[in-house]
Chain A
Amino acid sequence: GAVVSQHPSWVICKSGTSVKIECRSLDFQATTMFWYRQFPKQSLMLMATSNEGSKATYEQGVEKDKFLINHASLTLSTLTVTSAHPEDSSFYICSARDRDRSTDTQYFGPGTRLTVL
């Protein structure tokens, strides 16, 4: 149980294009999902917290117009990197919190590697 998927697992795009990454909780409902970014050999940096049916809460320094987050259902959140540039190349990981558990445990997706040329 508690499986989170991400799609795509990797993507290469040209500079200036937009890329959408999906995060799905497969066997549980998630009122809250989180989006992280991880640079090589570094820890995870929280970008934003996404609550179903409401606007995402962005961490300081993260551009909300650059990284659009939508959490339209209890099992799906999307992150759209708009007008991507090479400096946006990174490993993006989502996580989801099971609303029926009281432990605040976050279950992580396998990550999406974005390369912007």
Chain B
Amino acid sequence: GEDVEQSLFLSVREGDSSVINCTYTDSSSTYLYWYKQEPGAGLQLLTYIFSNMDMKQDQRLTVLLNKKDKHLSLRIADTQTGDSAIYFCAVVFSGGYNKLIFGAGTRLAVHP
């Protein structure tokens, strides 16, 4: 079955860049996603990348995809305190109804 792994915690200083990493096992996913969850809230879609792309940039967010190594990363430039949240990567599992498989989530803490 599909497996998605993330590091659980990342602490950065305000203004620095944050890089959150994710690895997955199923290479058939057409799209790969990053979601953000703030305390007590649902998931907010941050960005996604099509599997035939290596990189996608959207303002402060940069997504890198290495299909050979099955590695996905999210870089947040100029990290702000408002970026403190849990970040989930998710890939589509092709086994049925194209359901999303989530990583465990990376808790990003931004300190002054």
Contact = CB atoms under 8 A, between A and B. Distances in A.
Interface of A: 2, 4, 6, 32, 34, 42-44, 46, 49, 51, 57, 93, 95, 103-111, 113
B103 A43 contact: yes
12 contacts: A32-B97, A42-B105, A43-B102, A49-B96, A51-B97, A93-B43, A103-B48, A104-B98, A106-B45, A106-B100, A108-B35, A111-B40
Interface in B38-70: 40-45, 48
B54 to A, nearest CB: 18
Interface of B: 30-31, 33, 35, 40-45, 48, 88, 92, 96-100, 102-105
Contacts of B97: 32, 49, 51, 57
Contacts, number: 53
A44 B102 CA distance: 7
Contact of A42 (B41, B43, B98, B104): B104
Contact of B42 (A43, A49, A51, A109): A109
Contacts of A51: 97
A111 B41 contact: yes
A107 B33 CA distance: 11
Nearest to A107: B45
Given A32-B97, A43-B105, A104 B45 contact: no
Contacts of A109: 42
